[in-house]
Amino acid sequence: MNLCREVAERLLAYRDGELEETEEPFIKEHLQYCPSCLDLLNGYDEVCDVLHRLQPVNMPSGVLERCRERLRREAAGEPPLHDHGDSCSAE
């Protein structure tokens, strides 16, 4: 069970306010004690901020998917509680 991966998969929905009411507290709580997930959320804010500035009118739907995929990859490549190493596969 990898909490960070669970959270990462929901960060987009959380940020957009599309998360289930039952899941939101779980994300909020996790973000309070997990700096790496908070980083991920902030990083997503920055990315989308830039995207909005670059394409203020019509954002292709693929962009959102790529954002999501990127978050997933970053979460998968980042160990939740350690500074280094690929320990994410240890579930």
Return residues touching Zn ion (CB under 5 A).
4, 34, 37, 80
* Strand ranges for the chain from DSSP E: none
Q: Which is nearer to Zn ion, 56 or 91 (CB)?
A: 91
Length of the chain: 91
Return all residues near 18 (Cβ < 8 A) that are at least 6 apart.
Answer: 12
Q: Which is nearer to Zn ion, 9 or 20 (CB)?
A: 9
- Taking the complex as a whole, the smallest distance from the CB of residue 84 to Zn ion amounts, in Å, to 16
Q: Which is nearer to Zn ion, 17 or 35 (CB)?
A: 35
